[in-house]
Chains A and B, each alone.
Chain A
Amino acid sequence: MNEVLTVLCLEDSPRDAEILREFLIDAGYDLNMDCTAAEKEFVSFLSNRRYDIILSDFKLPGFDGFGALRWSVEICPDVPFICVSGSIGESLAVELLKKGAVDYVLKDRLERLPSAIQRALDEAKEKKARQQAERQLRIYSETQSKLLHTNDLTEIYRLVAEKISELIGDGIVFTTLLDESSQTLGIVSYKGLNVPFEKLIKTLRIDPTKMVYNLKDITEDELSIYRSGKLEELEGGLYILATRRIPKTLCKIAEKLLQIEHIFTMGFVWQGVHFGGLVILARSDLSIYKVTIELLINQAVTSINRLRAEMKLNTQYALLNALIDSPGDTIIFSLDRNYCYTAFNEKHREEMKKVWNVNIEMGMNLLNCMSSYELRESAKKSIDRALRGESFSEIQCQQELSVFYELSWGPIFQNENITGATVFIRDISERILAEKILNDSELRFRRLFEAARDGILILEAETGLVVNVNQFLVEMLGYSYDQFLGKRIWELGFFKDIVGNHENFEELLQKEYITYDDKPLETIDGSRIEVEFVSYVYKVGNKNVVQCNIRDITQRKLGEIALQNSEEKFSVAFKTSPYAITITQPEDGKFLEVNDAFYSMTGFTREETLNNASVGMNLWVNREDRDFVVRELMAGRKVVGQEFKFKKRNGEIIIGLFSAHLIVIYKNTYILSSINDITERKQAEKVLEESERKLREAQEMAHLGFWNWDIQSGDVIWSEEVFRIFCLDQNEFIPHIDSILALSPWPEDHERDKELINRTIETHNPGSYEQKFLRPDGSIGHYYSTFHGNYDDNGNLTSIVGTVLDITQRKQAEEAIQILNKELEQRVIDRTTQLEAANKELEAFSYSVSHDLRAPLRSIHSYTNILLEEYENKLDDEGKRLCGIISSDAIRMGGLIDDLLNFSRIGRSSLNVSLLDMKSMAVLSFAEIASENEKARTILEIGKLHNVNGDAHLIRLVWNNLISNAIKYSSKKEKSELSIGSQASGNMITYYIKDNGVGFDMLYKHKLFGVFQRLHSGKDFEGNGVGLAIVQRIIQRHGGKVWAEGEVDKGATFYFSLPAEGNR
């Protein structure tokens, strides 16, 4: 034995102290002994130094062994206390041992001392190690669950540092986190700093609450200031423990800062660490905490990885939301299969507020937000269609507001399952309006065409075919429609004088405007009609047409005079024409005649117009326009279909399609002009253009491309966005239906996609697919394409149109989640293995307890009884009573051990769940537990007891414990009254057992279910306080709760609840 033994000796006799010292040195101890006889000095020794053992005399000046023991238990309870004295009698010795002394050695039998000391030291060491291990386990498990539920990175750093500090306990602890990438020093916590450390904090201007510092910011100057500090004040044994991932430079800085010779790296590699490093400065040896620290940090790393992954996901979500919110006028939202929102953009939120006055949120049910039954049903129908996999568009209109929406519905696919639907809603009112205006003007033309008092013939300029003829002409000439339509004009015999052959027609086309009044036409009955023939060429769409106006001028020819009457000058057509027609003087624009359309178009009255001049009325916005027209006309040229701006009476500007030519009336030359107001059409066109531009932009922003495959021509058109998604140059790459598929480098995918497209062609159903593609730079992207066919009136497929959405980011996010999940699973497996190992240890522990603790008890009990039997005549009554106490207490302790083992077993065994007949269980339990006598004096009332799922063995224990308690605590009443029943509410079933016994004070209800907690003395009622703890543990393991109500002397009711739907 060459250990150093630090001893505090309390001894008033210097001689005895000397003997003790000699004796211990002889026994082989390397002794370090403080000796005193005074109480005050004894206390001061105890407080200032750590001893391995305290040796104390019993009789001391001013106080005694009990006093010394009290001080030592109070100040350092872990240091073993041995009483070394002359004989003090057995009862005092036993009393000392009871109060915490570990041994008692007689001064005249000192040879026993070394073994007593060794035993005490061993026990103290063992106790300390056990406490240490328990504390580490507790700190670890506390931290573990906190870490699992933390969503804050700095909170994780803080927690780990704080717990490591707590673990290491007293001594200097200075925990920092060093982030290797940024060389950032995060002071996370410090405690118990001594002066030099305080100085370090100050020198580095570190604010512990601020958390993060950059080591690079610490200047040489500041370092030197610190170095001049007195670091030697630090008593030796200062360690820095660091992960080996801390860069060398950082270690150097730390070495410099703290002037520490060595930095011990803990030498284990954290798995997948992006944690930076952890530095713990501590004054004591950390090796015993190594495993726990490692576990803590591993746990933190797990949590941090989890958080990082979540943060990454959130970023993806934010990106996606930004994308959704960007297209301005378009409403976008998506729903899950339960019609609940999974995403929506700002526009949609506003719209829902405006229309339904609902503030929508994620997870809300869309249908519940709509208070109109009809609209709800229609929305539900559309969503259901999308959830069945259809992509389609529909147009909805709110008539009174003349607002039109186009709704595009589509399913959301995840791993080939439809998990929801997306909706794009565009306001297309403007487009619809533009179409409507166009329709209107066509209608007007049609009316004019049909109602005109002139014959009108429309020819295709390219071919000369008659494409239209009006009623008037048909009647005038007496031929049927069919004799006109589909024939070339020179094939119609009655036009032989005007357009007798193809050459004549070419001439007519070249001149663009031709008028004859000397070429009569022949009707079907052979009579001739004098006509005025006017033809002009204009464009419809991108085709030239020829319009021929044929007026019967037989009357005019017959009676010139009558025709020249001023009021007869104008045809009905002039008056009823929707175009504003004017006859003006070339010089000043003075009006000779205007038609009604002019008034309605310009807002001027007849009085204001006639005898006034267009110049004077400021009809022309630009005077130069009129000058140009006059100049052209005077030069013999025509003005046809020119756009000019005109000012209405109220100042409003309109755009007119203007045509004019010169006419001669009474030998005077006038300008005959017509103005067609096309302002609305112009605006509509502009609006249309604008909305198309917006749509295009929205598609670009949403990364949504379009393609169109014309089945007949085989042409494939891609929108710019498609090229962008596939990273292809529009000028170089010519899309073909195979080329979009060929972007995927995996031939088996082509077949699948082609198959999908073919199915769309065959079944007329829309389709969609997800596809990988190879970018020119070799990276792999993902896109999602939906498509549907367009059909002509006969139901033949004319084209397939589709969208292309770049989903590469989404795919990457999904993959990230999968990897994360795999990692988590592995961790769960690891953790389970650890838990199983811990369980095995506990198993072994309880095995030893049940063996080794019972054997000495049996000895105590048996030998006491032998004593009573064989030395009966030597023991007086008091002696026998004492033996009786020893014997009965040994039995009680045996019971305690059994109960404790049962209790610990309940927490570990697995649940065998089956459906339990609670009523028969309660009845059987009562029959089993109550003695005949007790049955006779008990009034038992059992009400309805719901069946429930649970472990039969354990639930029987619950009944046994609660029923035996009820019987026990009501045994002092004349009759025991027990009432048992249950009640189902929500998803729990609550059972109760009510008795009329002694009850309890609600003040102590929190103690009812603690292990070894009793509210009644063993004298009144037997028991050791494990029963209710067992009940609580069983019920909690089943996912239920247990509680009690009572009043002193008025009985108690115990409740326990179990989940109605079974449990794990």
Chain B
Amino acid sequence: MDDLNAVEILIVEDNPRDAELTMRALRKNNLANNVIIAEDGAEALDFFFCRGKYKKRSIANPPKVVLLDLKLPKVSGLEVLKIVKEDKRTSHIPIVIVTSSRQEPDINEAYALGVNSYVVKPVDFDQFINAMSSLGLYWLLVNEPLK
């Protein structure tokens, strides 16, 4: 991904295997061209607010969707969600929590913080591929973003 301003999907995922599988699902649907992967919460925040290695990015060109894991190094997914949703510049960006956790407190808190969707990663491969594909298709092709 060279053009940071063309990013359509931001995947925040510390597990390279899960990242690869997600990419694979997106690729199958030809959605993998403008995808960028952040490996921890801090990097994700840098991306959102155009800091550090994303200095050159413009905040005026938001991604169409962010797939955010909960359990992340440095800054946790819920913390990222909270900061992004509290900032007027970024609060409109659709964020989907994609996590292994089916813990009720997590789901409750995520919705309280204003998450757009909450998806539990299935263990089953086919289900996983299906889930990721539909997510990509929906947010990139079906959903009408803020102009």
Contact = CB atoms under 8 A, between A and B. Distances in A.
Contact of B100 (A854, A861, A866, A887): A854
Contact of B71 (A851, A859, A861, A866): A851
| Chain B contact surface mostly | loop
Interface stretch (B30-38, B59-67, B117-125): B117-125
| Chain A contact surface mostly | helix
B108 interface: no
Given A850-B102, A854-B100, A855-B100, A862 B128 contact: yes
A557 to B, nearest CB: 131
A898 interface: yes
How large, as a class, is the contact surface on chain B?
20 to 34
Contact of B123 (A846, A847, A851, A857): A857
Given A855-B18, A858-B18, A865 B101 contact: no
Given A855-B15, A858-B21, A894 B123 contact: yes
A859 B100 CA distance: 12
Contacts of B24: 866
Contacts of B99: 851
Interface string B106-136: 0000000000000001111110110000000
Contacts of B122: 858
B13 to A, nearest CB: 10
Contacts of B121: 854, 858
Most buried by B among A852, A861, A863, A891: A861
Contacts of A893: 123
B123 A850 contact: no
Contacts of B71: 851-852
Contacts of B125: 858, 861-862, 864-866, 887
B37 to A, nearest CB: 16
Given A858-B128, A865-B126, A850 B101 contact: yes
B107 to A, nearest CB: 12
Nearest to B16: A859
A861 B126 CA distance: 9
Interface string B4-46: 0000000000010110010010000000000000000000000
A1010 to B, nearest CB: 25
B109 to A, nearest CB: 12
A407 interface: no
B76 to A, nearest CB: 11
B122 to A, nearest CB: 8
Contact of A859 (B18, B126, B129): B18
A963 interface: no
A861 B123 contact: yes
Interface in A847-883: 847, 850-852, 854-859, 861-866
A851 B126 contact: no
A847 B107 CA distance: 13
Nearest to A898: B102
Contact of B101 (A847, A858, A861, A863): A847
A981 B140 CA distance: 54
Most buried by B among A846, A850, A858: A858
B101 A859 contact: no
A858 to B, nearest CB: 5
Given A858-B121, A859-B17, A851 B128 contact: no
Nearest to A861: B125
A890 interface: yes
B17 A891 contact: no
A854 B123 contact: yes
Nearest to B70: A851
A893 B124 CA distance: 11
A898 B103 CA distance: 10
26 contacts: A847-B103, A850-B101, A850-B103, A851-B71, A851-B99, A852-B71, A854-B100, A855-B15, A855-B100, A858-B100, A858-B121, A858-B122, A858-B125, A859-B17, A861-B125, A862-B17, A862-B21, A862-B128, A865-B126, A866-B24, A866-B125, A887-B125, A890-B123, A891-B124, A894-B123, A898-B102
Given A866-B125, A891-B123, 4 more contacts: A850-B100, A858-B122, A862-B17, A898-B102
Top 5 A-B pairs, shortest CB-CB distance: A894-B123, A865-B125, A854-B100, A862-B125, A859-B17
